[in-house]
Amino acid sequence: MLKINENEKNVKLRTTDGRFFIECPQEKSEMVEDVLSRLIGISGWAKTAACKKTVDDVLAACVEEGKKISAAGIKTFKIDARRTDKSFPISSYEICCQAGNAIINAVKELAVDIHSPQDVIKVEIREKAYVYSGGKKGLGGLPVGSAGRGLLLLSGGIDSPVAGFLMAARGMNVDAVHFHSYPYTSLEAKQKVINLAKITGSYCMGIRLYILNFTGVQMRIKERAPAPWTTVLLRMAMMEAAEKTAVKIKCKCLITGESLSQVASQTIENLTCAQNRVKLPVLRPLIGANKENIIRQSERIGAYKISILPYEDCCTLFTPAHPVLHGGVAEANELYESLELEPLIEEALKNHELVK
């Protein structure tokens, strides 16, 4: 995502009660709208014309806005006026009446429809007068950073970027950790995850991606563990490594893209096994979602085409033919402890790669 920088030439940010204004030349408006389309916490935005606070100037601006929407094929409209500055000589209702009359007199193709208009021309009287139409809906949600920081377990699949986006939409700062098993997983698979982190980060005011080489851990599990248990034990190791990372960077929870019973490792029993050794809360915003809805959300945030690129990640690399479906916690812990993974996990943490 392109960032709006107040130091950038000709781009200025100004805030008032209930509004913020970005003043920029026309050639930068596409950049600004790209940023706003990804900015969680705003209800919407619109391009607006500013004019002097006189009745004549406001009516003239409304007529110009009427011509613009007529040229775009709009046939019916209404006026919505808000007069924050009560010193303006006419009331909000009078603004609506006079502006509507001025527009239909000047633009014969337009008609007023106060119940079901095709577009609404809005007038706001503040320190200046603002006239606009055709506003775009924002993402809504809570401003990122208002609900703490969480660590997302980011794979190369469809689900985890969506999970990260949903938690950002609830006000959470999101960082991410990815487990890589080079040379068993390719450098292309690693770059795919970096690209997914960039997309997720564009909604999260930036993101820090911690890449851990988990080849040693994964090979130890493959060599020593019963084949049906390998995926569950790998998830347990990932959770342990993720929690250690989260504590170090002061994240308050872990976030995963798991959905109940979507795959063998996501039965309620196996989810319980995977998280039973960590103390931080594990948030699963997709736990009750179906795959079709997750795919639609992935498409909406722009991640889907990257998520389906055919590069395997370490979660799918050594998937057993007949995985355990309803693992018990006691047996899982006994098997896990017998693997003596702690030194391998610490090595992966020590040699992590950080991509901002």
Decide: helix, strand or coil at residue 15. Answer: strand
d(C-alpha 352, C-alpha 148), whole Å: 24
Same domain, 188 and 328: yes
Supply the pTM of this predicted model: 0.87
Does residue 29 lie within any of the structural domains? no
Task: Look at residues 152, 156, 161 and name the one whose alpha carbon lies nearest to residue 210.
Answer: 152
Same domain, 216 and 344: yes
- DSSP assignment of 42-66, as one string? --EE--EEEE-SSHHHHHHHHHHHH
Same domain, 203 and 303: yes
Walking along the chain (356 residues) 10 residues at a time, the average pLDDT comes out as 54 84 89 92 91 96 96 97 94 97 96 96 94 93 95 96 98 97 86 96 95 95 95 97 98 97 94 97 97 97 94 69 93 97 97 96
Same domain, 269 and 337: yes
Same domain, 105 and 250: no
Task: Look at residues 269, 190, 201 and name the one whose alpha carbon lies nearest to residue 232.
Answer: 269
Same domain, 153 and 56: no
Same domain, 107 and 164: no
What pLDDT does 1 receive? 37
d(C-alpha 76, C-alpha 159), whole Å: 42
Same domain, 120 and 181: no
Same domain, 67 and 205: no
* Cβ–Cβ under 8 Å, residues 188 and 306: no
Residue whose pair of structure tokens reads 């693997």 in the numeric block: 339
Same domain, 162 and 296: yes
Q: Where a domain ends, among 83, 110, 136?
A: 136
What pLDDT does 168 receive? 97
Same domain, 348 and 212: yes
Does residue 287 lie within any of the structural domains? yes
Could you tell me which residues come within 8 angstroms of residue 337 by beta carbon, excluding any fewer than 6 positions away? none
Torsional sign, CA 203, 174, 218, 258: negative
Does residue 83 lie within any of the structural domains? yes
Same domain, 130 and 169: no
Does residue 32 lie within any of the structural domains? no
Domain count, the chain: 2
Q: Where a domain ends, among 86, 106, 136?
A: 136
Could you tell me which residues come within 8 angstroms of residue 76 by beta carbon, excluding any fewer than 6 positions away? 110, 111, 112, 113, 116, 117, 118, 119
Whole domain around residue 77: which residue ranges?
Answer: 46-136
What pLDDT does 4 receive? 52
Q: Where a domain ends, among 108, 136, 164?
A: 136
We report the CATH number of the domain holding residue 119 as: 3.30.2130.30
